[in-house]
Amino acid sequence: MTPPGPLRFGSAHRPDADAVRLALRACAREGKDLDSDHQVMGRSVGHLAAGIDLRSPEPGPEDVAVSATTPWADSFDNRHVRYATKRLKSDEQRVARAWAENSELNWGQAPLVVDMDVEMGSRVRRKLLRAGGEIVRRTEAQILEES
């Protein structure tokens, strides 16, 4: 029985380390990579555990550009979220944004981050809940009309 020919990765022979590296770099440029190639904060990782928090410590340049040109209430892709956040006044939007962008804050703490009264947090929460309820009622009515 004859031994099998060399294993190939793309056009690289497996025993040739330089060719394998070149093939891996080409795959990485094309978006094809290995799980072991991923890095988080400069450390190689294989698979990320579910529920791991990988938030950036600071906003990226695209976040700064978007926030400078687009009001926060208009920055959402979901039309229902845009509708609910547009119903808030500017001070209320500041509280809602502080709560939304800081997962460890509750509604009582979010107003303090933006130098507002503590009661503002519960007021904003109630207002968003009312807007959400209105959205649900409208959607249900629309579904009933279509059927």
CA–CA distance, 42 with 2 (Å, rounded to integer): 45
Element (H, E) at 44: strand 43-44
Between 87 and 27, name the one with better pLDDT.
Answer: 87
Residue 8 has pLDDT above 60, yes or no: no
How many other C-beta atoms can be found within 10 angstroms of the C-beta atom of residue 75?
Answer: 15
Residue 65 has pLDDT above 80, yes or no: no
CA–CA distance, 104 with 40 (Å, rounded to integer): 22
Token reading at 126: 């109630």
Q: Rounded mean pLDDT of 66-89? A: 85
What are 88-142's pLDDT values in tens digits? 999 999 999 999 988 888 999 999 989 999 999 999 999 999 999 999 999 999 8
What pLDDT, on a 0 to 100 scale, did the predictor assign at position 41?
58
Q: Which residue has the tokens 């509604």?
A: 107
Residue 20 has pLDDT above 90, yes or no: no
pTM of the model: 0.54
Tell me the average pLDDT of the chain. Answer: 76
Provide the pLDDT confidence category of residue 59 given band limits of 50, 70 and 90.
Answer: low
- Dihedral of alpha carbons 123, 102, 91, 75, sign: negative
